[in-house]
Amino acid sequence: MTKFQPIVLSLVFAYASAAGCYPAYSPGTTYAIGTSVSQVVTTITPISWTSCDVSPTCTTGWVQVGGVITTSTHNFACTSNDWCVNPGFAPGGVYSELAWTKEEAVCSGTAVVPAATLAPSVAATLAPTPAVWTGIGCPGAYVAGAPVAPGASVSVVKTGVTLVYTCNTDTTSGWCPLVGYEPGTGQHWGQAWTLSGSCTGTLTPAPTTAVTLAPTPEVWTGIGCPGAYVVGAPVAPGASVSVAKTGVTLVYTCNADTTSGWCPLVGYEPGTGQHWGQAWTLSGSCTGTLTPTSSPTTLAPTSSPSSSWPNQGGCPSAYAAGGEYKAGDMVTKNGMVFKCNAGHYSLFCPMGAYEPLSTAHGDAYKLAWSTVGPCTGTIAPSTATPTTALPTSSPPTTTPTTAPTSSPSSYTGTCTYDKIVVTAGPAVPCEHGSSTSCSCTSVDVSVNPLGYTCTKPSEIVTTTATVVDPWSASTTYAAGDVVRVGVDRFKCKPHPFTGWCSNAMYAPAVGVSGIWTEAWTPEVDKCPLGP
């Protein structure tokens, strides 16, 4: 009877005639496609166990057959710029086939080194420079961690050449700013970026040339010029900004569709670069400053209003920056009542940049709030006031005890979720070659007939009660984190979507669909209301 050992490290091949050996592989060296190296490979014949009669030479009843260890030197050719530099893909290793092609013939002596196998610094001068990209000059340099919009291009300086990489426009674009996906670096950059070519010089904005050659655009339909564009400042869909060019001030309007989220991003500055037209529309030229369409500070007395807005009577609560406002909520600012707009525009109501009557970003606040009219005093109760006198001995029982629904209050309930916490655990047994985390050490055959044991780290998964906080763009979220909007709960999706959970473009919303669903999953359970 024969018992076969299932673990086979490698097979011994029939060696062909000898050839010269290329320079030995060196971990940490940068290798390019086509580079050839040599590496000593250790092979072992298949191991099997055959039964035997118990005797002084067969004490266990089994005797090992095979397991003969042989070493030989082979040449390997690099097939991946990304993985050949990674020691985890070293020639002759477990994952060698993903990065290197092995010559089955055993090599000996020294081979003549072709240009492709020269040291990287020399090979770089011989390799052809990638074709020049289609843009003019070089785009802005890549900055690790900085926001990158889908389709935006960046430049990266390499030895003797500047390369241009373009962020993908599909769902993988969310990986472009992440560590581990830096363009041209490591194993995974190609999942988020595309090499677009090489470049020289600096980026020449196409619109600047157009302005100096073409007639001044027609005056836009607004009065005066809107607020100046500020890189990184929030821009609402449909909001207009002004940009000073040579001899003229131009007005650009942020698109009102899903591309509006690109308006504040680097690489989409209005009138600059290649991609601004995907987020902005040139609305015309302007002169002067923006003239407000209304002037709340000069309203006529409410007893004899001269405006078209009817007097609202009592005033709702004053606007509070950061308040949890939703569609239909009413607030007061400078004696005027404003109503939070419906649909996805309601998402802007809690944002300070859209505070009613704010001029920080032109008239962007109008996208979030609608003017209802002037008010005086405090808001009237939401329940009807009896029209007949009530007996003094029987006080009314319908006096409202809660604040009007038009004036939102802060959430006062207790809302938690079980957050998954992963910590390092003890080492556990594993099979050789089963994973990159499996590590093997030599042991006496009396301990293990194979002569080695293998272990890998384990993880301990626990849960801890964690408060469900409101979503915030300043918080870095991990997969499984839960946030709330009002009393509605949302869970951050796992990789590769996790990187979007902190992006304002993907902020979770209540009652409206949008791209936020690619980052967040709405939960059925809601946060309980407070007492």
Chain centre distance of CA 56? 66
> Is the pLDDT at 188 greater than 80, yes or no?
no
Neighbouring CB atoms inside 10 A of 214's CB total 9
Phi-psi category of residue 364: left, alpha or beta, with phi > 0 → left and psi -120 to 50 → alpha: alpha
Kindly list the strands in the beta sheet with 439-442, ordered across the sheet, starting from the edge strand earlier in the chain: 416-429, 452-467, 439-442
Structure-model confidence comparison of residues 205 and 61, the more confident one: 61
Q: Rounded distance, CA 150 to CA 173, Å?
A: 5
Q: Rounded distance, CA 458 to CA 430, Å?
A: 11
Q: How confident is the model at residue 528 (pLDDT cuts 50, 70, 90)?
A: confident
Local structure of 474: helix, strand or coil: coil
Structure-model confidence comparison of residues 313 and 464, the more confident one: 464
Q: Rounded distance, CA 338 to CA 346, Å?
A: 12
State the pLDDT at residue 468: 92
Residue type at 383 in one-letter notation: T
Q: Rounded distance, CA 468 to CA 290, Å?
A: 42
Listed in sequence order, the residues at least 6 apart from 374 whose beta carbon sits closer than 8 Å to its beta carbon are 296, 299, 302, 305, 307, 309, 311, 312, 335, 336, 337
State the pLDDT at residue 388: 36
Q: Rounded distance, CA 431 to CA 421, Å?
A: 27
Q: Is 501 in contact with 469 (CB distance < 8 Å)?
A: no
Q: How confident is the model at residue 523 (pLDDT cuts 50, 70, 90)?
A: very high
> Is the pLDDT at 207 greater than 90, yes or no?
no
> Is the pLDDT at 186 greater than 80, yes or no?
no
Q: Rounded distance, CA 5 to CA 48, Å?
A: 5
Structure-model confidence comparison of residues 110 and 213, the more confident one: 110
Q: Rounded distance, CA 90 to CA 108, Å?
A: 20
Mean pLDDT of 51-68: 78
- Domain regions of the chain by residue span: 2-125, 128-204, 206-286, 309-374, 416-526
State the pLDDT at residue 374: 85
> Does an H or E element contain 521, and which?
strand 520-526
Q: Is 319 in contact with 338 (CB distance < 8 Å)?
A: yes
Q: How confident is the model at residue 269 (pLDDT cuts 50, 70, 90)?
A: confident
**By C-alpha distance, which of 398, 394, 372 is closest to 383?**
398
Neighbouring CB atoms inside 10 A of 284's CB total 17
Q: Rounded distance, CA 275 to CA 134, Å?
A: 13
State the pLDDT at residue 113: 61
Mean pLDDT of 77-96: 85
Mean pLDDT of the chain: 76
Quick: pLDDT tens for 428-466: 999 888 888 898 888 887 878 888 889 999 888 888 899
State the pLDDT at residue 331: 92
Listed in sequence order, the residues at least 6 apart from 20 whose beta carbon sits closer than 8 Å to its beta carbon are 107, 108, 109, 110, 111, 112
Chain centre distance of CA 348? 21
Give domain 309-374's CATH number out of 1.20.1260.10, 2.10.10.90, 3.30.950.10, 3.40.50.2300: 2.10.10.90
> Does an H or E element contain 125, and which?
helix 120-126
Q: Rounded distance, CA 172 to CA 149, Å?
A: 11
Q: How confident is the model at residue 38 (pLDDT cuts 50, 70, 90)?
A: very high
Instruction: Look up residue 353 and give its DSSP letter.
Output: G
Listed in sequence order, the residues at least 6 apart from 193 whose beta carbon sits closer than 8 Å to its beta carbon are 165, 166, 167, 168, 176, 181, 183, 184
Q: How confident is the model at residue 115 (pLDDT cuts 50, 70, 90)?
A: very low
Helical segments of 60-179, H only:
120-126
Q: What angle do CA 384, 386, 388 make, to 5 degrees?
A: 160
Q: How confident is the model at residue 215 (pLDDT cuts 50, 70, 90)?
A: low
State the pLDDT at residue 407: 35
- Tell me the C-alpha to C-alpha distance, in Å, between residue 74 and each of 33, 86, 204, 276: 18, 19, 51, 53
Q: Rounded distance, CA 504 to CA 136, Å?
A: 31
> Does an H or E element contain 332, and which?
strand 330-333
Most confident of 171-185, 202-216, 454-468: 454-468
Q: Rounded distance, CA 449 to CA 442, Å?
A: 11
Mean pLDDT of 140-159: 84
Question: 167: exposed, middle or buried (C-beta count within 10 Å: 0-12, 13-18, 19+)?
Answer: buried
Q: Is 420 in contact with 481 (CB distance < 8 Å)?
A: no
Q: Rounded distance, CA 44 to CA 158, Å?
A: 42
Quick: pLDDT tens for 283-303: 888 887 654 444 333 333 333
Where is average pLDDT lowest: 23-27, 91-95, 204-208? 204-208
Residue 333 C-beta-side C-alpha neighbours within 13 Å: 20
Where is average pLDDT lowest: 227-241, 350-364, 445-459, 513-527? 350-364
Q: Is 415 in contact with 467 (CB distance < 8 Å)?
A: yes
Q: Are strands 19-21 and 100-110 parallel, antiparallel or unpaired?
A: parallel
> Is the pLDDT at 194 greater than 50, yes or no?
yes
Strand partners, 195: 165
**By C-alpha distance, which of 101, 97, 45 is closest to 71?**
45
